[in-house]
Amino acid sequence: MSEQPIPGQIVTGKLIASLAARTALETPGVLRTEPTVQGLLTRLGPAVIRKFSGAGGPDGVFRDDGVTVTLSGGTARVHLDIATDIAYTALNVAEAVRERIRETIRHTGLVPGEVEISILAIECDRGTTTE
């Protein structure tokens, strides 16, 4: 049996953010990630962020719609802003998302650091009927 090299992928903040968002969206009760004003400003450029926050983003920080990832010393910290379905208990959804993201990070070979989940909206899913 010959061992073929397995093509690898460098684990980046962008990859972790993508995995975190996808993991969250696959969790029952999560409707979407929630982009914030800070995320919009980040897309406009680091100078705008420095102007409004007083500091620039450090190396190893990646922000995308509703997700912020910080990589440092083999540890990945995640902050995720989400909207949840009113048919689910928000606290239970947040805890499930947190644990699933921590497990996803472990699969990348990184150590999961703090995983913060902020619920910015609780709405009725249009595909769900409540009576």
Q: Tell me, yes or no, whether 131 lies in a domain.
A: no
Q: Tell me, yes or no, whether 57 lies in a domain.
A: yes
Distance CA(107)–CA(131), nearest Å, equals 40
Q: Tell me, yes or no, whether 49 lies in a domain.
A: yes
Q: Tell me, yes or no, whether 130 lies in a domain.
A: no
Return the number of other C-beta atoms located less than 10 Å from residue 88's C-beta.
18
Q: Which structural domain, as residue segments, surrounds residue 118?
A: 13-123
Q: What is the CATH number of the domain that holds 38?
A: 3.30.70.1350
Q: Tell me, yes or no, whether 74 lies in a domain.
A: yes
Range list of H helices, 1-131: 13-25, 37-44, 46-53, 90-107
State residue 53's pLDDT score.
46
State residue 10's pLDDT score.
82
Residues contacting 37, CB < 8 A, separation 6+:
none
> How are the residues of the chain apportioned to helix, strand and coil, as percentages rounded to the nearest 5?
35, 30, 35
Q: Tell me, yes or no, whether 7 lies in a domain.
A: no
Q: Which residues of the chain have pLDDT under 50?
A: 1-2, 6, 50, 53-59, 131
∠ CA(44), CA(37), CA(33), 5° rounding?
105
Number of domains in the chain: 1
Distance CA(102)–CA(10), nearest Å, equals 18
pTM: 0.75
State residue 55's pLDDT score.
39
